[in-house]
Amino acid sequence: MRNRVIAGICSTVLSCSLLIGSSGTTYASGATTAAEVPSNKPVKNVILFITDGMSLSDVNLARWYGGGQPLTIDKYFSGLVRTYATDSLTTDSAAGATAYATGHKVKTETVSILPDKSTMPLLDTVKKEDMNKPLPTIMDAARLAGKSTGTVFTCELTDATPATFLSHAYTRDNAGSIAEQMVYSGVDILLGGGAGYLVPGKEDINRKDGEDLTKVIKSSGYEYVTDKAGLMNTKTNKVWGMFNKEALDADLDLNPQKQPSLAEMTKIAAEKLSQNDKGFVLMVEASQIDWYGHDNDPVGIVSETLAFDRAFKAAIDFAEKDGNTAVVSVSDHATGGLNMTNYDANKELVSVLKKAKHTSYGFEGNINEKNFKQVLADNYGLTNLTKEEADAVREGLKDNLSPVIGKILGAKIGVTFSTDDHTSEEIGLFAYHPTNFKPTDFAKSGVIQNTDVNRYIQEVTGLNLTALEDTLFVTADKFRAKGATVTLDKTDKTNPVIVVKKGGQLLKLPMDKNIAMMDGKALKLSALTVMIKDKVWVSQDAVDLIN
């Protein structure tokens, strides 16, 4: 391996106009004239991919793993996306995905609520009374317009990205609340991992309130399936699929008889959702590119990037046949800072990476200080470890082995990582539209904001989140303005209930649900009842129940 250090060369050089407005405003128009911009043909359906943590360098490595042949996404590369949050140049997944879900930049770690902290430039001002207010999502807009909605992912359902489309929280770590909100969100198709977050039990991930949310799911008319065969044999268009108690296995590691691939889940979700004549919005997350970026595992990055590319192809195949679907793919941020400095031929890289039978997660629990040399030889083709490498493996076994393996492999193929954290670089935008009207055409720039992607989806579908922002969520003070009393019943501390009384009327609103109990009768609401930082937010139609 002939590695060289070349100073002064950037992997991506950007020369672009300055931002000219708030978080919703993008860049000044370039040289393209209005006549050259493809016209917008409204579409019924949108499939939005979020490739968590995927950088363009990750894509490059995956492409070379396949011999340098183009990936499916290459044909649809459309531009770059800026991902910063309201309080940070580098975003996390919660804030990054919230921008795509709601059209607003928000504070890191928060889930689809307006920010209470804004230190970055070019942002809208949030009124004090609106800070931490739940934001309607594109799923809310689609659902209320009569469209079907779906989410597909390979992480746990409570992880940041899927959470932002179906729940609201001050911290992404509030898994118990997020899981319950997602169950009551009204989503039609939900496929991924995290079954343990739905049921009571002794494990850390299990519910502590005693509720078995799988019973709620089943009683709400969903087919609840737990393996690939169950998914393939579903008969309805309302499906919850939980294929592992925590995250799904990486594509390179999964048992194809038990767990569906990301491509299979994408195809089935699109086919089922398309049975609605009014159309659908589907979010698909390739969740674990980020995880392998954090752990500096090039094999895992390749596995999950290629799994995404196959899922993207499934979506494109559907869209081209359907003729009424737009497909967009973005990342919430990049992770790991992967660098390629390989000065050998590609066969050297491929000869090393192709020996890997699993990602570094694939043999967790099956490797120890006694057998690690054999396990690494069998799973990675890593033989004849040096003393320094063997010592590093022994140390990694005590804490985190993934980056140790990644470093050993990287030394052989010219791959290094600059960090085990997120990075603030622009990420790739890939898009398909029946008349080639892309988010970059909508924004009139090749470099756009993450919030522009949400606004593009609104544009091509005719959905309107701005109107919902003023009407969907209101404070419980609206009840008091009607002369009602409002109290919080904490008899069950894990499941508090808002109690509203006026005259002979009695209204109960269980937290994290879209249910109202009016004079003992259960009613379904347009939005969830949630508490953010001790402030209760309710659906406007709940307020309308009180005379």
Per residue in 373-401, pLDDT tens? Answer: 999 999 999 999 999 999 999 999 999 99
243 inside domain: yes
Mean predicted confidence (pLDDT) in 28-51 = 76
User: Which CATH number is 503's domain given?
Assistant: 3.30.457.10
End-to-end CA distance of the chain: 77
Q: Which domain holds residue 258?
A: 50-340+419-468
Same domain, 499 and 408: no
- Going by C-alpha positions, the residue among 52, 75, 71 that lies closest to residue 63 is 71
Domain membership flag for residue 10: no
Verdict on whether the full-model pTM lies above 0.85: yes
- Verify that 323 and 183 share a domain, yes or no: yes
Return the pLDDT at 83: 98
d(CA 225, CA 283): 19
pLDDT mean over 531-536? 95
Taking residues 292-308, what's their average pLDDT? 98
Task: Inform me whether the pLDDT recorded for 70 exceeds 50.
Answer: yes
pLDDT at 346: 86
Domain identity same for 250 and 178 = yes
Question: What mean pLDDT comes out for the span 504-533?
Answer: 96
Domain annotation covers residue 185 = yes
pLDDT (tens digit per residue) in 22-39? 344 443 334 444 456 688
Is residue 423 domain-shared with residue 480, that is, in the same domain? Answer: no
User: Are residue 297 and residue 213 in the same domain, yes or no?
Assistant: yes
Rounded Cα gap, residues 231 and 172, in angstroms:
28
> Does 241 lie in the same domain as 376?
no
Rg (CA), the chain: 24
Residues 395-440 have pLDDT tens digits of 999 999 999 999 999 999 999 999 999 999 999 999 999 999 999 9
The neighbour count for residue 461, using CB atoms within 10 Å, is 22
Binding residues for Mg(2+): 52, 159, 161, 285
In a domain, 40, yes or no: no
Looking at the predicted structure, is the pLDDT value of residue 237 above 80? yes
The average pLDDT across 495-520 equals 96
Residue 74 and residue 148 in one domain: yes
Per-residue pLDDT at 49 exceeds 70: yes
Q: Given this model, what pLDDT does residue 257 score?
A: 94
Residue 12: inside a domain, yes or no? no
Binding residues for Zn(2+): 52, 290, 294, 332-333, 422
Q: How many domains does the chain have?
A: 3
Question: Residue 15: inside a domain, yes or no?
Answer: no
- Report which DSSP code applies to 437: -
Report residue 19's pLDDT band, with 50, 70 and 90 as the boundaries: very low
Whether 341 shows a pLDDT value over 50: the answer reads: yes
Mean pLDDT computed over 257-266: 98
Which residue out of 93, 148, 177, 402 is catalytically annotated?
93
Cβ 361 vs Cβ 253: under 8 Å = yes
Return the pLDDT at 273: 98
Report the C-alpha gap between 450 and 452 in whole angstroms.
5
Q: Mean pLDDT score of the chain, rounded to an integer?
A: 93
Average pLDDT over residues 219-229: 98
Within-domain flag for 34: no
Q: Are residues 365 and 400 in the same domain?
A: yes
Known binding residues are: 52, 159, 161, 285, 290, 294, 332-333, 422
Question: Catalytic: 93?
Answer: yes
In a domain, 510, yes or no: yes
CATH code for the domain of 72: 3.40.720.10
| Statement to judge: residues 255 and 173 lie in one domain | yes
Domain end call among 413, 429, 449: 413
From 389, 413, 437, the end of a domain falls on: 413
| 266 plus 387 within the same structural domain | no
Q: Catalogue the E-assigned strands of 98-168.
A: 148-156
Q: Which of 251, 467, 439 is nearest to 362 (CA)?
A: 251
Q: Which of 412, 416, 419, 374 is nearest to 393 (CA)?
A: 374
pLDDT at res. 345: 80
Specify whether 428 is located in the same domain as 300. Answer: yes
pLDDT of residue 36: 65
The verdict on 304 and 392 lying in the same domain is no
The residue from 468, 493, 509 where one domain ends is 468
- Rounded to 10 deg, the angle between the 402-413 and 346-353 helix axes is 150
Cβ atoms within 10 A of the Cβ of 519, count?
10
